[in-house]
């Protein structure tokens, strides 16, 4: 839970609410509640934002508020193609020495979504939960592969599903072919691997099975910030709602995550996520069904 300031070819935001856990919570809370949030913010984080999350069924006992410190801040500028960006500023602030504490009231959690953060912080959360969740999903990024690979590999051994993008899958595995990359990564621990390819959709691997979910072709991507987190939130939200961790249901969860991500990019920050309804989500899921539906009769 953090602040971002974002520049895209379409405009420039002020300091707005961001952070992986924020996007995940807004997205997942469409499908399941309560959500047990774990994070850290400074005294500058608006109470109104915390209240809005509470109203969505997001529990905040696990969110540390460090009154005399500042929230994490990131500022970046997207290139014209929206696929790459430059970081303009990163201020760790409260994240510099974040030690997550899992409250007792969270111990009955059945599904654990580890947002993108220091692998040692992710590991600490896993270790504090006494009864292993039915499903542990982990998001990460290239930065941790560059700076904390040993810790990252430890976490990989404890998770069921890993979420990375295509270049991260290549970096982590040392393989260019995503099929080969998936085989290598699955050897590192997670039984399921989701490779996100942005506007090119996402792949789900499990053993020799593979599923492909497209991204919805959009006229404009206004701001891609948080799309991956929103995808993760939709994914874990659907799994938690259905309590079904089969490969077949994960396919559906990926479509749900993709639908949520397609809304996220329509406005700056969480602007679109906070206003969409169940009807909007159903409508978009229908578009995904239409997008990939075809008939074939083998004669």
Beta bridge partners of 59: 36
Q: Is the peptide bond before 34 cis (omega within 30 degrees of 0)?
A: yes
Binder of its own copies out of 15, 176, 187, 243 (CB under 8 A):
176
> Applying CB under 8 A, does 289 fall inside the site for its own copies?
yes
Number of residues that bind its own copies (CB under 8 A): 40
Quick one: DSSP state of residue 73? E
Residue 174 interacts with its own copies (CB under 8 A): yes or no? no
Query: According to the binding rule CB under 8 A, does residue 298 interact with its own copies?
Result: yes
Mark 90-124 as b/e (b = at least 16 C-beta within 10 Å). eeebbbeebebebeeebeebebbbbbbbbbbbbbb
Q: Does residue 77 belong to the site contacting its own copies (CB under 8 A)? A: no
Of 17-25, 91-99, 185-193, 282-290, the segment contacting its own copies by CB under 8 A is 282-290
Residue number, 95 or 169, with CB nearest to its own copies: 169
Q: How far is the CB of 255 from its own copies (least distance, A)?
A: 6
> Cβ of 250: how many Cβ atoms within 10 Å?
24
3-state secondary structure of 14: coil
Contacts of 177 (CB under 8 A, 6+ apart): none
Which C-beta is closer to its own copies: that of 3 or that of 288?
A: 288
Q: Does 266 bind its own copies (CB under 8 A)?
A: no
Burial class (CB in 10 A: 0-12, 13-18, 19+), 197: middle
- Binding flag, residue 34, its own copies (CB under 8 A): no
Stretch that binds its own copies, among 98-106, 126-134, 142-150, 214-222 (CB under 8 A): 214-222
**182 in Cβ contact with 195 (< 8 Å):** yes
* Residue 24 neighbours by CB distance under 10 Å: 31
Interface segment toward its own copies; rule CB under 8 A; list 59-67, 114-122, 250-258, 262-270: 250-258
Beta strands in 200-278 (DSSP E): 202-206, 209-213
Which is closer to its own copies, CB of 16 or CB of 291? 291
- Of 33, 77, 197, 267, which one interacts with its own copies (CB under 8 A)? 197
220 binds its own copies, rule: CB under 8 A = yes
Q: Which residues bind its own copies (CB under 8 A)?
A: 80-81, 176-180, 197, 200-201, 203, 209-214, 217-221, 248, 251-252, 254-256, 282, 285-286, 289-296, 298
């Amino acid at each position: 839970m953090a602040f971002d300031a974002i520049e895209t070819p379409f405009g420039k935001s002020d300091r707005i609410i961001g952070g992986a856990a924020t996007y995940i919570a807004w997205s997942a809370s469409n499908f399941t509640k309560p959500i047990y949030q774990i994070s850290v913010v400074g005294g500058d984080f608006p109470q109104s934002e915390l209240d809005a999350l509470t109203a969505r069924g997001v529990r905040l006992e696990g969110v540390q508020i460090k009154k005399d410190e500042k929230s994490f801040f990131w500022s970046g500028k997207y290139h014209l193609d929206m696929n790459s960006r430059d970081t303009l500023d990163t201020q760790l602030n409260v994240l510099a020495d974040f030690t997550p504490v899992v409250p007792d009231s969270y111990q009955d959690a059945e599904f654990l979504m580890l947002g993108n953060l220091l692998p040692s912080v992710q590991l600490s959360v896993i270790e504090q939960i006494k009864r292993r969740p039915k499903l542990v999903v982990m998001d990460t990024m290239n930065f941790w592969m560059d700076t904390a690979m040993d810790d990252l590999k430890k976490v990989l051994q404890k998770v069921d599903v890993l979420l990375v993008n295509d270049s991260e899958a290549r970096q982590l595995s040392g393989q260019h072919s995503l099929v080969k990359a998936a085989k290598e990564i699955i050897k590192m621990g997670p039984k399921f691997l989701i490779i996100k390819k942005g506007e090119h959709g996402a792949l789900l691997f499990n053993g020799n099975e593979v599923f492909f979910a497209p991204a919805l072709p959009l006229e404009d991507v206004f701001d891609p910030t948080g799309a991956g987190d929103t995808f993760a939130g939709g994914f874990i939200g659907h799994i938690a709602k259905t309590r079904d961790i089969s490969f077949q249901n994960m396919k559906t969860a990926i479509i749900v995550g993709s639908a949520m991500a397609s809304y996220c990019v329509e406005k700056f920050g969480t602007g679109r996520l906070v206003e969409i309804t169940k009807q909007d989500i159903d409508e978009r899921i229908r578009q995904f069904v239409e997008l990939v539906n075809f008939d074939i009769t083998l004669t």
